[in-house]
Amino acid sequence: MGHWWYRNIVEPGKLPLLLALASFVLTFLVTRVITRLIRAGRGPFRNITPGGVHVHHVVPGVILMVLGGFIALAGGRRGFGAGVAAVLFGIGVGLVLDEFALILHLDDVYWTEEGTKSVEIVILTAALVALILAGFLPFGVNELGAEEATDRFTVVRTVAVNFLFALVALTKGKGRIAVVGVFVPFVALFGAIRLARPNSPWARRFYRKRPRARARARVRAYRHDRRWSALRRKVGHVIGGAPSR
């Protein structure tokens, strides 16, 4: 276990990233527990309202992200300072992304259906950072061998092809697949060759004179949403709390 830890985490310099991920996830979970207790009127926790102004936790989150970022830039990737910067940054990211929906809508939508976007973005961010820790790098360049890495044309070609797959998947309305596909190329390829969602830019451009393709896209989107949207919503409610009616 110790050999694996040194070879895969310490030696490649991934310890700060692991600390940031752990503090990010833990901060999000603790924050959600506290906000749910405040919502239920239980425990000693209350909203911070100095002078009648509700200070959302995105504010200290931004401050901690700034501190962690500057400490990381001033120091190196290793040592105690790098660990402190990673923890501060992770805590800040957890607080900020927990209120991602508030920033997106510029409104206090924390306990509404729109507020569940915060839970989705937190899950997606944690998954992507975990992929990096597992050895996946953007556009799959990490899959190149030592000889291929010396060939700049091969590197550029690999990045370009993977980026093209992710871009096509994004224009087809498959945002989650496109983001994950940046790290796992075959996922982006899967999204690129599948039918586009009916309201996506791809469908508006290429399915305009293809009624059968439009109809198939609508049916597939309906079946997909009916199968997965309820499950996604339920998981979001379990993690972040059910929205107010």
- The one-digit pLDDT tens for each residue of the chain (245 residues) are 567 677 777 777 788 999 999 999 999 999 999 999 999 888 898 888 888 888 899 999 999 999 999 998 887 667 788 899 999 999 999 999 999 999 989 888 898 888 888 998 999 899 888 888 877 766 555 555 555 555 556 666 677 787 888 889 889 988 888 888 877 777 888 888 889 999 899 988 899 888 898 899 999 888 888 888 888 888 888 888 888 76
Q: Using DSSP, state whether 210 is helix, strand or coil.
A: coil
Taking each helix axis from N to C terminus, what angle separates 80-98 and 15-40, rounded to the nearest 10 degrees? 40
Dig out the tokens for 157 from the structure: 């070609």
Q: Which of 198, 129, 188, 199 is nearest to 159 (CA)?
A: 188
What integer pLDDT is reported at residue 138 of this predicted model? 66
Output the furthest CA–CA distance in the chain (Å, rounded).
63
CA 239 to chain centre: 15
Domain borders along the chain are 1-135
DSSP 11-23: TTT-HHHHHHHHH
Q: Which of 33, 95, 35, 30 is nearest to 67 (CA)?
A: 95
CB 243 within 8 A of CB 113: yes
CB 183 within 8 A of CB 152: no
In one-letter notation, the amino acid at residue 123 is: I
- Please give the model's pTM, rounded to 2 decimal places: 0.79
* Torsion angle defined by CA atoms of residues 139, 233, 21 and 65, in that order, rounded to the nearest 10 degrees: 100
Give the Cα separation of 136 and 203 in Å (integer): 31
Burial of 199 (0-12, 13-18, 19+ CB in 10 A): exposed
Give the Cα separation of 33 and 100 in Å (integer): 17
Which of the 8 DSSP states describes residue 6? I
What integer pLDDT is reported at residue 227 of this predicted model? 83
